[in-house]
Structure 1
Amino acid sequence: MENPVLRVPPASAGDALAYFTSQLAFRTDVSDVHAALESGDPGFTLVDTRGRAAWDQGRVPQAVHLPTDDIAAKAPDLVDRGGPVVVYCWGPGCNGAIRAAAAFARAGYQVKEMLGGMEYWIREGLPIATDDGLAAREPDPLTVPTAGVSCAC
């Protein structure tokens, strides 16, 4: 029986290194974004690209609200072009962050996508900002260790 994993052989080590390194240039994750924000000087602007109703429902603290359709017109007034931008939308089942990243890149910004979006921010039990203040949910044990340790990746 043919091995379905190896039906297409793995890339060479050099090609794999180039590919996976390039992925890190385009993406980050919620844990790293949270750690950077907690440092007090994250070095990037975090942008929530969802619509008004989603923003009002809850967002990542310190995020700037700029829906994807408004990036071309409003980004120069809201986001410093001199620094990197990290964008997020709802979650991995949504390509809104990818469309937003493309819009920022088209406007001349350096940009990364926050993998997992708001869904994984919430699932990891990280703080959520609303007009009433900060809140957090219990971490989902299927997505993040709950014993106070990190995944150590």
Structure 2
Amino acid sequence: MSRTFAVPAADPAAAVTHFLARLGVETDVADVHADLTAEVPALVVVDSRGDAAWDQGHLPGAVHLPTALIAERAAGVVPPGARVVTYCWGPGCDGATRAALEFARLGYPVKEMRGGYEYWVREGLPVVTATGRTHRPVDDLTAPRPAAGCDC
């Protein structure tokens, strides 16, 4: 007996609906990095963490807008018509989810970046700190080694 399919898989039509819904509200670190590198217009990446976390390091090009301040300050920070991606610490934190909810309530098209700052750093991508732009080595449990490719 399969433990994986002890509960039968959804019928394909229900699965399509489910996965499209997830992809409509979530994105991943690699895709955000690709869009930032390509300078995709009208994309605003929002770091929803507090001041100390922002100062510890953040994504290049991100704007700092803690979740508790989004309703009050979003209009002054994020232009109308912008597409928003939110992030917080990592997969164990709901901060980016709460931030995305606030942006959705304000009418912005928004996605949450799965993995957050943790996976951005673990994938060896650049961050900005008080000392400038830096990055850590790739953690091969979260990203392929340079000679390998995820190809997903």
What TM-score, normalized to structure 1?
A: 0.95
Whether the 8 Å contact between 2:25 and 2:110 is mirrored in structure 1 is yes
Q: Contact between 1:81 and 1:108, CA under 8 Å: does it hold in 2? A: no
Matches within 5 A, 1:9-88: 9-88=8-87
Name 1:105's counterpart in structure 2. 104
How big is the shift at 1:80?
Answer: 1.4
Larger deviation, residues 103-112 vs 70-79: 103-112
Take 1:109 and 1:40, find their aligned partners in 2: how far apart are those partners?
19
Q: Deviation at 1:84?
A: 1.1
In structure 2, give the amino acid aligned to 1:23. R
Q: Which moved more, 1:29-38 or 1:39-48?
A: 39-48
CA deviation after TM superposition for structure 1 residue 132, in Å? 2.1
1:92 alignment partner AA? P
Superposition deviation, residue 136 in structure 1: 0.4
Task: Determine what percentage of the aligned residue pairs are the same residue.
Answer: 52
Equivalenced residue count is 152
CA distance in 2, matches of 1:148, 1:103: 40
Q: Which runs of 5+ in 2 are unaligned?
A: none
Q: CA deviation at 1:149?
A: 4.0
Q: Give the conservation status (yes or no) of the 8 Å contact 2:60–2:127.
A: yes
In 2, Cα distance between equivalents of 1:103 and 1:149: 38
Encode CA deviations 1:42-88: one digit per residue, 9 max, x unaligned: 54100000000000000000000000000000000000121210000
Structure 1: unaligned runs, 5 residues or longer: none
